[in-house]
Structure 1
Amino acid sequence: MDDRHLVEEKMASMELFEGRLLHAFRDTVRLPDGSTTSREYVVHPGAVMIIPLLEDETGSLRVVLERQYRYPVQRVMIEFPAGKLDPGEDVLACAKRELLEETGYSARQWARAGMLHPVISYSTEFIEIWFARNLSLGQRRLDAGEFLDVFTATPTELLQWCRDGSVTDAKTLTGALWLQNVLSGVWPLHWQDAAAPRAGR
């Protein structure tokens, strides 16, 4: 598909802000009709979200979730475990690290589902989606200043919370969509052992 009639060309760029996490710019761009305008956006290092699948004592499937206060929206949010990539870090290594640090769980099997872009209008952020199963519980290793509760729910409960507005976090809504389609068999996953080498990204 030829997208040249939609592409905007960067002509100049100005740094607006650099913080610990976010890096903001204002670019001057040429539009497809030849006119110019400005685009403000935030450069983000990218992140990973994990959908941990846990069988309870009855053999029923549950998912591991978190409750965490998110200052910008002034709310405690229900979310799947997630975290940003460190410079040069492999996405699966990040997923393993974040799952252990935030929940205390390690997984013996992993499967990459896909990628989402949560805020394409003003950020470069991408989030890799990974499923984890065959979990074993250890000790959490929360970062300094990080406070969150870990709990489990059935897929049905999660989907109901998405429907009634209890879950509004974009990545978790996307994760619920993936979970629903994986469990129905529509979107199959390719599982790998945690210690196995991974080909490609």
Structure 2
Amino acid sequence: MSTEDPHLVEHTVATEELLKASFLHVVRDTVRLPNGRTSTREYILHPGAVMVIPLLDDGRIVLERQYRHPVKGVLVEFPAGKLDAGEDHLACAKRELLEETGYAAREWALAGALNLAVGYSDECIDIWFARGLTLTKPELDDGEFVEVILADPGDFLAWCRDGKVKDSKTLAGALWLQNVLSGAWNLHWRS
């Protein structure tokens, strides 16, 4: 809770569970508004996730194409996935990169985090960079179908500009990639 902006903060007075399924957990909070009145807020609880921006030694990046049922289309995305209960964020990044692309990385850097859809979800996604990649074999989850593609960063950024890339986390990753590659933003790499 923010202590710097008390004139904007809402206080939860009650929570009601609306749906708890294998993937979605939806709640309705009754909140006290800054003016003393009450209102409701419905949103999705999410365990958190990671996204990986994999950098190949030759300068290309690793992306994937995957069908996303809610939008009824195949999207270009950076590898990403949900945290398992109690899972360390870096361990999740390593697992997702290997499962979805077949790549393992020698070095990792945490870039930052993003809140995906603050109007209806508490989901927070860590943005990781990976380099020193070695190709092994993908270990996709049952029912997961992914096409791994390699791209020049300039081509990828053009796809973002031209609307070929529509996934919001991948577009946020493009901002990080552009600034890291230009030297404007620095990363702290670790093995």
TM over 0.5: yes
- Counterpart check, 1:176 vs 2:174: yes
Whether 1:23 and 2:21 are equivalent positions in the alignment is no
Report the counterpart of residue 160 of structure 1 in structure 2. 158
1:101-143 deviations in Å (ceiling 9; x for gaps): 1000000010010000010111010000000001000011000
Q: Which amino acid aligns with 2:12?
A: K
User: CA offset at residue 2 of structure 1?
Assistant: 2.3
Q: Name the counterpart of 1:129.
A: 127
SS in 1 for 2:118: coil
Shift of 1:43: 0.1
Task: Quote the offset at 1:155 in angstroms.
Answer: 0.6
Q: 1:116 is paired with a residue of what secondary structure?
A: strand
SS in 2 for 1:54: coil
Name segments (4+ residues, structure 1) moved above 2 Å. Answer: none
How far is 1:55 from its partner?
2.5
- Quote the residue 1:143 is aligned against: 141
**Match 1:94 to one of 92, 95, 108:** 92
Mapped to 1, the partners of 2:15 and 2:86 lie a distance apart of 25
Q: Pairwise mapping of residues 57-96 of structure 1 onto structure 2 (< 5 A)?
A: 61-96=59-94
Matches within 5 A, 1:29-44: 29-44=31-46
Whole-angstrom distance in 1 between the partners of 2:4 and 2:148: 46
| Structure 2: 5+ residue stretches without partners | none
Matched residue count: 189
Q: Distance in 2 between matches of 1:17 and 1:4?
A: 31
Instruction: Find the aligned partners of 1:46 and 1:19 in 2 and give their Cα distance.
Output: 16
- RMSD value, Cα: 0.8
**Alpha-carbon distance in structure 1 between the residues aligned to 2:170 and 2:4:** 33
Cα deviation digits, residues 36-92 of structure 1 (max 9, x gap): 111000001100000000123xxxx10000000000000100000000000000000
Q: Show structure 1 runs of 5+ residues with no match.
A: 194-201
The one-character-per-residue Cα deviations of 1:154-199 (angstroms, maximum 9, x if unpaired) are 1101110110100010000000000000011111001111xxxxxx
* 2:50 equivalent in structure 1: 48
Q: Which AA in structure 1 matches 2:174?
A: A
Percent identity among equivalent residues?
A: 64
Q: TM-score, normalised by structure 1?
A: 0.93
Query: What's 2:6 paired with?
Result: 4
TM-score by length of 2: 0.97
